[in-house]
Amino acid sequence: MRVFQRRLIDWIEHRTGLESAVKNFLFEEIPASSGWHQVFGSVAVFLFLVQAFTGLLLAFNYAPTPGDAYNSLKYIVTELTGGALMRGLHHWGASMMIVVVVLHMTQVFVYGAYKKPREATWSVGIALLLLTLAYGLTGYLLPWDNRAYWGTVVTTQIASKAPLLGPYLTRLLGGEDSVGVVTFARFFALHVLLLPPVTTFLIAFHIYLVRKHGVTPAPGDSRPPKKFFPEQVFKDTVAIFVAFVLLFVMAVVVKVPLERLADPTDTTYIPRPDWYFLFLFQILKFCEGPLEVVGSVVLPTMAILALLLVPFVDRGVAKRLAQRTVALTAVTLAAIGWTGLTVTALVTTPKPALGLEESLETVEGWQQLSPEALAGIGYYRQEQCASCHHLTDGKTKVGPNLSTRPIKRSVGWMIEHFRNPARMVPGTSMPPIHLNDAQLSALVAFLLTLTPKNATDLESAPTAVVEGAMIYQQQQCGLCHVVNRVGVQVGPSLNGVAGRHPNEWIEVQIRDPKRHSPETMMPAYNLTPREMEVLVAYLTSMPAN
């Protein structure tokens, strides 16, 4: 058996050189001073592989178009087996990767491992840091919720402030007029098609340069070198295991936010970037007006240039860590500044005017009905069904109490019964109901929601709101909007619209949608004043959810 294994290995080695490559990689000599402080590079590579793997799994069920992206992501996290875990690993893995890459760069900077002949290694590391941030920037839009949409609006606006290049960057990002299909397509292409191969190449090049010049030894380390395997491999493996456990716990315990579908008309929304960009967001608050370009472009560019120039400015001999006071002071001040700006941005984030729990306390039963069922109350009243039926307790009438008598018939039977009562129930005195199919379906939807507990509440639904639900159904608004989780989510959800826009704005949006959103697909509706009044009354009565 061993002879066969040896022959197989020799065959592979002769044709690929794989055995020699593995041995050279594992048994390369590294300085005796190498240790736990040099595990960050291996952890960063591992996290990149996790991002690539989870991103691939997400892509199998993700629809890369606005609207569909949101719905597909909702399907992934609510219906797909392991979908929520997959997204959690990808989301928190992005944050952890940024943390690890920054720690790796800090460790290299503090130890002075960028000095000659490792200037190129340092420069490639900076490029990888910028690529890691670019992943966060381009991936931010892909959920296509309100948070992603308005955060990207801010990003494109910042890009437009760049001197000379501003208009070209805005055009490249597809954000000339607004964030829409073009912007989404380009962010997706960058995130999925362009950045991964570039990152893979630079990681390979970075590892090659590290191997070419070797790991930087501590100054004065005269001990004999040691092999990369097994001691340093063990340390790297332990660090990777700890990182994965932390990532897995985060993915399971901490829910990844997914807000409502992106609403370009929600001008009340206050955008916030991910936590690692909050410091820049706070700087922009201090640089208003003419100074905005300083905070958005000049300062970040100067910081990147300063990092690139570090190896060419600091050309002195290597010193022990305790003697690198300038480097330690710079890192300390940077950490204090970043922490202070980030905490300030978090503390000053405005709180929602009305919390979800507080808003639910005032919700009536009729406010929780689907548009169809609420419209059914209107047809129940229109056809004067109450003249023969009770919804609540009262004197005996010709027909049965509709809330206490369970309905055991199918929807089709009930619709046919409404059209021709005598044929379905011979001997009944009930007259035919002259409504179309959609209206009869709404009436059935209302009757199916009735219970002894909610009958009084539903019977008290305001007339204007009920009439508004009837207009909503007649105009087929549910083909593009969702109310109380019913409808098609092409446009924004209409729950809580009263908290986002005044009535006058809503009326303009219905009559002339392109005034607010030039690229919208929503048609204009020519409603009578009464129809507009009741439709707005209905929309503004729907609670946030």
Q: In the predicted model, what is the mean pLDDT of residues 60-81?
A: 89
pLDDT at 359: 40
Which of 65, 61, 56 lies closest to 74 in space, CA to CA?
61
pLDDT per position as a tens digit, 396-416:
778 888 877 777 778 888 888
Same domain, 159 and 49: yes
* Rounded-to-integer distance, Cα 20 and Cα 260, Å: 55
Say which CATH number the domain at 66 has: 1.20.810.10
Whether residue 376 is found in the same domain as residue 336? no
Q: pLDDT value at position 228?
A: 83
Model confidence, pTM: 0.74
Sequence-separated (6 or more) residues with CB below 8 Å from residue 83:
61, 75, 76, 77
Question: Would you list the DSSP string of 424-481?
Answer: HSTT--PPP----HHHHHHHHHHHHH--TTTHHHHHT--HHHHHHHHHHHHTTGGGT-
Q: What pLDDT score was predicted for residue 353?
A: 43
The pLDDT > 90 percentage for the chain reads: 45
DSSP structure class, residue 499:
G
SS (H, E, C) 88-99: HHHHHHHHHHHH
pLDDT of residue 351: 60
Q: SS3 string of 291-330?
A: HHHHHHHHHHHHHHHHHHHHHHHCCCCCCCHHHCHHHHHH
Which two structure tokens, joined as six digits, stand for 473? 């159904």
Q: Which percentage of the chain shows pLDDT scores above 70? A: 96
User: 345 with 367, same domain?
Assistant: no
Are 2 and 8 in contact by the 8 Å Cβ rule? The answer is no
From 33-42, 94-103, 166-175, 248-257, the region with the lowest mean pLDDT: 166-175
pLDDT of residue 358: 39
DSSP percent split of the chain into helix, strand, coil, nearest 5: 65, 0, 35
Q: Is residue 16 part of a domain?
A: no
Does residue 313 sit in the same domain as residue 396?
Answer: no
- Residue 485: what pLDDT? 85
pLDDT category at 138 given cuts 50, 70, 90 is very high
Answer yes or no: are the C-beta atoms of 96 and 247 closer than 8 Å: yes
Q: Which residue has the tokens 């990207």?
A: 152
Looking at every residue in the chain, the average pLDDT score rounds to 87
Of the three residues 349, 371, 397, the one that is the final residue of a domain is 349
Contact of 486 with 371, CB cutoff 8 Å: yes
Average pLDDT of the residues in 299-323: 90
Decide which of 288, 322, 349 is a domain's last residue: 349
Q: Which of 349, 383, 398 is the last residue of a domain?
A: 349
- Does residue 97 fall inside a structural domain? yes
How high is the pLDDT of residue 210?
A: 92
pLDDT band, residue 545 (cuts 50/70/90): low
CA distance 317 to 126: 22
Distance CA 13, CA 23 (A): 11
Q: What is the mean pLDDT of residues 486-512?
A: 87
Q: Which residues contact 166 (CB under 8 A, 6 or more apart)?
A: 159, 160
Mean pLDDT, residues 147-175: 83
Is residue 433, in this structure, part of any structural domain at all?
yes
Distance CA 26, CA 227 (A): 7
Same domain, 370 and 333: no
Residue 399: predicted pLDDT: 81
Domain containing residue 448: CATH number: 1.10.760.10
Residue position matching structure tokens 């020799």: 10
Q: What is the mean pLDDT of residues 177-192?
A: 89
CA 404 to chain centre: 45
Question: Is the pLDDT reported for residue 83 higher than 90?
Answer: yes
Arithmetic mean of pLDDT, 441-464: 87
The answer to whether residues 453 and 316 belong to one domain is: no
Question: Quick one: average pLDDT of 442-450?
Answer: 88
> What is the per-residue pLDDT for 394?
67
Residue 226 parent element (H or E):
strand 226-227
For 350-359, what is each residue's pLDDT tens digit?
664 443 333 4
The confidence band for 252, taking pLDDT boundaries of 50, 70 and 90, is very high
Residue 25 lies in a domain: no
Burial class for 253, CB neighbours closer than 10 Å (0-12, 13-18, 19+): exposed
Question: Do 58 and 157 sit in the same domain of this protein?
Answer: yes
- Same domain for 278 and 402, yes or no, is no
Q: What is the mean pLDDT of residues 365-388?
A: 90
Which residue range forms the structural domain that includes residue 368? 360-541
Residue 458 domain-assigned (yes or no): yes
Buried b / exposed e along 331-370 (16+ C-beta atoms within 10 A): eeeeeeebeebbebbeeeeeeeeeeeeebeeeebbbbbbb
Tokens encoding 510: 């219905």
363 pLDDT above the threshold of 80: no
**Same domain assignment for residues 157 and 221:** yes
Q: Is residue 73 part of a domain?
A: yes
CA pair distance 388, 315, nearest whole angstrom:
96
Confidence of residue 515 (pLDDT cuts 50, 70, 90): confident
Contact yes or no for 121/316 (Cβ under 8 A): no
Q: Does one domain contain both 452 and 407?
A: yes
pLDDT exceeds 90 at position 48: yes
Q: What is the mean pLDDT of residues 235-239?
A: 95
Q: According to the model, what pLDDT value does residue 250 have?
A: 96
| Backbone φ and ψ of 227, nearest 5° | -85, 150
**Within-domain flag for 315:** yes
Look at residue 524 in the predicted model and tell me its pLDDT: 92
